[in-house]
Each structure stands twice: as structure tokens, then as C-alpha cells.
Chains A and B, each alone.
Chain A
Amino acid sequence: MEGNDAMLAKLQDNELVTRAQQGRHDAFEELVSRYAGRLYSMGRRMCGNDDDAKDMLQETFMAAFKGIDGFRAEAKFSVWLFQIAKHACMRMRRKSTFAPRETLSLEELVPNEEELKTLSVADWRRTPIDKLLNKELQGALDEAIQVLPPDHRMVLLLRDVEGFSAEETGQIVGASISAVKSRLHRARLFTRKHLHHFYQDQGSSHV
């Protein structure tokens, strides 16, 4: 059946959905292999632990499998799937004791002039991203994302990690485009602030 798998791998998401709707389990499995990694990564960041992420992943694909007949051809499969995942994440969160902060005030996030004076921009701005992204910075970034309020975290992950548009993100989280943009801006500001000390005095530490 190798030839069949290779053929499925060439199909667009919606072509696979059509086959899955006709009862072709192999077409659904191809969709699973396309999205499982991305959903699991998002689940780990949204749920805060591996076990809940695993449950969220299973719940999402089982719901997608059972609901695939209701998928409309004019929709985008990835948006539909992430909508299901978002609901699964919310159910997980209710069960979880993990409680990040719930609000982000802009005043807190915008730096004052004193702080901006201390940034030694010229030094790190020429540093390629892979050099800059050492273990310490990666750890700080993970932490920043983890402590974001869930609504903001979800928007940041969908927009900047998953690459969904503002409109698609709004469809997934059930919010207006302007709400998505506002959350995204705050989430980015928060993350920037959290990484602030990496932007100061990078000097020789990243060579």
C-alpha cells in the first residue's frame, strides 16, 4: 500500500476530507499525521503539561473523526481542526490546577524612557536568530509564553507560531479581528518585556 500513501500525501487537505467523508480511514490518517505534531506542541503550551496535551490531542482527533461529515467544503480544514482543539484545551484547562495570570495591562507593558535608554540595540540586531537563540533565551521565551493569560497565549501561538491570519485566528478563538489584534499586541509586548534583559548588554555572551 506504499503507493497509496504516497498518493494521499500529495492531496490537499480538503481533498483528503472528501475521501474521509466517503469512509476512507487512510485519508483521515493522513490528515492526522499532517497536524498531530502541531496540535501537540500547541497543546503542551496551552495545557502546561504533557499528559493534558496528549488527552487534548486524542479528544481533538476523535471529535474531528466523528464530526467530519459536518465539515463544509468551503471551510479551511486547519481552521476547523484548531477550533475543535481550542474547545478541547478549554475543557482541559477547567480540570487543571495550573492558573496563569488573567490580565495584561498596557501600562505595565510599555517601557519607560529610562528602560529604553539601557537597550544596546546595535549590538544584537545584527546577530542572526539561530545564534541568538541559545538555551537560556529559549527557556525565557518558553516561560514568557507559559505565563501569558490563556486568551493571549492562544492568539500569540495561532498568529506567530502557527501562522494563521488575524481573521482565521478570530474564527478559531471566537473573537473579532480587533480583539485578536489587541490580544496579539499585548502578548507580544509582554513577551518582549520578559526577554528584556537579553536585549541589554549582549556584549560577548552570544558568540
Chain B
Amino acid sequence: MSESGMKNISSDPTCEEIFTVLSEYIDGELSKELCEAIEAHNGNCPPCQAFVETYTKTIELVRTQPAEPLPSAVKDELSAALKRCQDALDQTR
């Protein structure tokens, strides 16, 4: 984990320390011990709990972005452009 910039935070983390590792915490990249220390802290610190939960919710929202279908005009233009490429290549073969 060292090359990933894993931070060293104490077993009794401060609010600031928690803010710095939130991303790795959400992505499941912290040790079990650190996760437990963060959860213990949050249990006694409503601001951190609120912060972690709003941060998590935000990521969930980003991850659930609906996939938009490719507009048919865009698709047609893309096909035409590729066809020109393919024809040009075939002529050289």
C-alpha cells in the first residue's frame, strides 16, 4: 500500500485525520484496524459521521448516473466516418 500514498493515521484518529483518508476508507483500501478506529470515532462524533455519510452518498449518486443512449444522428455520423476509414484501408490492401 505504500506506493498508493497510504496515510499513517493514529489508532485514535482526529477529525482532520479522518477527512484525509475518507476516499480510501470508502474504497475499502484501509486496514481493518483503521476502519474500526474510524467507526469508533464516528460513533462519538456526529459531525464526522455526517461528513462520512454525505461523502458516501455523493459517491453513490455519481456512480448511479443513468447511461444515456447514443443519439442516432451521432451514431450515423460515426458509422459514416468509420466506413470512409475502412474503405481507404481496403484500397491499400
Contacts and interface: CB of A to CB of B under 8 A. Distances in A.
A61 interface: yes
A129 B22 CA distance: 21
B54 A121 contact: yes
Contacts, number: 118
A56 to B, nearest CB: 11
Which DSSP category, helix, strand, loop or mixed, fits chain A's interface? helix
A188 B23 contact: yes
A87 interface: no
A191 B50 CA distance: 15
B91 to A, nearest CB: 13
Contacts of B63: 160-161
Given A25-B86, A121-B50, A185 B23 contact: yes
Interface of A: 23, 25, 28-29, 32, 36-38, 40-41, 50, 54, 57-58, 61-62, 65-66, 110-111, 113, 116-117, 119, 121, 124-125, 129-130, 132-133, 137, 141, 145, 156, 160-161, 166, 176-178, 181-182, 184-185, 188-189, 191-192, 195-196, 199
Given A121-B54, A124-B57, A177-B5, 4 more contacts: A36-B75, A61-B78, A141-B65, A192-B58
Interface of B: 3-5, 16, 19, 22-24, 27, 46-51, 53-55, 57-65, 67-70, 74-75, 77-78, 81-82, 85-86, 89, 93
